[in-house]
Amino acid sequence: MGSNVLLIEDEPNIIEAIRFILARDGWHVQTHSEGTSALAAVLRARPDLLILDVMLPGRSGFDILRDIRACAEIAALPVLMLTAKGQSRDRAMAESLGVSRFMTKPFSNAEMLAAVRDLAAR
């Protein structure tokens, strides 16, 4: 697997922290912070791995994930989903839509890094 990560998240300071952590680990990180145009951003960036927040302005991460899995060009993209809503129904929803991994905020930097490395190694 390559080393391109696309991070779709609307919280600027979370973007900055995750970008820093992953960049130091050797990842090339692109970011996007809006839901409506997120699918187009994925198609444009063609990342090796996507980190996707659930609560985004314009469109939810669940809807974006559904579109990704329905789009042949990017259907197999590994997706790590982040949510501040740790309820079991959100996890079940993400799993039913084909998420690769699901993480609940707040998480530690080590957990984030381990999850990204784990997905990349699959």
Partner 1 sequence: MTGTRIRERRLMLGVRQAELARSVGISASYLNLIEHNRRRIGGKLLIDIGRALNVDAATLAEGADAAISSALRDAAAQHESARADLSRIEEFASRFPGWARLLADRQRRVTELERVVEMLSDRLTHDPFLSASLHEVLSTITAIRSTAGILAETEDLDPEWHSRFLRNLRDDSRRLAEGAQALVGYLDDSADVVGRQSLPQEELEDFLDARAYHVAELEEGRDDIDNLIAAADMLVTASGRDLARRYLARYARDAACLPMAPLVAAVARHGLDPAALAQDFGLDPTLVFRRLAALPAERGGADVGLVICDGSGTLTFRKPVAGFALPRFGAACPLWPLYQALSRPMAPIRTTVELSGRPARRFLAYAICQPVAGNGFDSPQVFESSMLILPEPGEDSAPAQPIGTACRICPRPACPARREASILADGFQVGMPAPG
Interface residues toward partner 1, by CB under 8 A: 11, 13-14, 16-18, 20-21, 24, 55, 84-85, 89, 105-110, 112
Measured CA to CA, the distance from residue 22 to residue 24 in angstroms comes to 5
Closest CB to partner 1 among 33 and 77?
33
CB of 7 to partner 1, least distance (A): 12
Those residues with Cβ within 8 angstroms of residue 25's Cβ, 6 or more apart along the chain or in another chain: 113, 116, 117
CB of 13 to partner 1, least distance (A): 4
Task: Supply 79's token pair.
Answer: 């997706």
Torsional sign, CA 29, 56, 97, 94: positive
Closest CB to partner 1 among 14 and 45?
14
A 10 A CB-CB count for 64 gives: 26
CB of 57 to partner 1, least distance (A): 12
Closest CB to partner 1 among 11 and 48?
11
